[in-house]
């Protein structure tokens, strides 16, 4: 006996999963740790002076510390930043959020793609080990464009490392 099944007007799909098993690589030498402090960024309630000046500044910054933990090779470490939110909520554009390093005066608009914050060559127990800096934030303000609201966005700080 033969059983036949017919489906009409039904679409089916097959899902496939690819599993990759990562094994430790010897090329992971040297290893560098990235530690963040003050990860939550808050802004005070804007004052009339803030609106006149066009910005409100975060109450504190985000400190990053890089520490070479293994290996003795010279390697280049790069700290990157990006937003993981599309906007600040409501009609407030992501471009209204800016950041800067504590040792620089110029401000940068945060974007949704990685942007270099700082880069240094490191050697464990020697050159630039450890090293750190702080990222500060500010938000653009407009009397007419920013109604009272709670604005929020997420950001990501990433460490990239290359060995020559």
Number of helices (H) and strands (E) in the chain: give both, helices first: 1, 9
**Residue 22 reports pLDDT greater than 50:** no
Smallest Cα–Cα separation from 149: which of 91, 74, 62, 86?
Answer: 91
pLDDT grade for 11, boundaries at 50, 70 and 90: very low
- Mean model confidence pLDDT for the chain: 81
Q: Which of 68-77, 100-109, 110-119, 140-149 has the lowest mean pLDDT?
A: 140-149
pLDDT grade for 39, boundaries at 50, 70 and 90: confident
Work out whether the CA dihedral 144, 147, 148, 149 comes out positive or negative. Answer: negative
Query: What per-residue confidence (pLDDT) applies to 26?
Result: 37
Q: What is the DSSP letter of 32?
A: E
Query: What per-residue confidence (pLDDT) applies to 150?
Result: 81
Query: What per-residue confidence (pLDDT) applies to 29?
Result: 73
């Amino acid at each position: 006996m033969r059983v036949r099944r017919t489906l009409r007007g039904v679409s089916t799909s097959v899902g496939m999963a690819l599993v990759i098993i990562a094994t430790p690589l010897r090329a992971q030498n040297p290893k560098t740790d990235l530690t963040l402090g003050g990860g939550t960024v808050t802004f005070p309630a804007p004052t009339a002076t803030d609106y006149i000046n066009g910005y409100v500044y975060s109450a504190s910054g985000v400190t990053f510390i890089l520490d070479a933990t293994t290996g003795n090779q010279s390697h280049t470490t790069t700290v990157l930043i990006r937003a993981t939110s599309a906007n600040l909520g409501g009609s407030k554009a992501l471009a209204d959020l800016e950041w800067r390093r504590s040792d620089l005066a110029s401000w940068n608009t945060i974007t949704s793609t990685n942007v270099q914050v700082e880069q240094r060559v490191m050697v464990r127990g020697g050159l630039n080990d450890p090293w750190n800096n702080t990222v500060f934030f500010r938000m653009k303000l407009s009397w007419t464009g920013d109604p009272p609201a709670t604005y929020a966005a997420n950001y990501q700080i990433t460490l990239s490392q290359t060995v020559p």
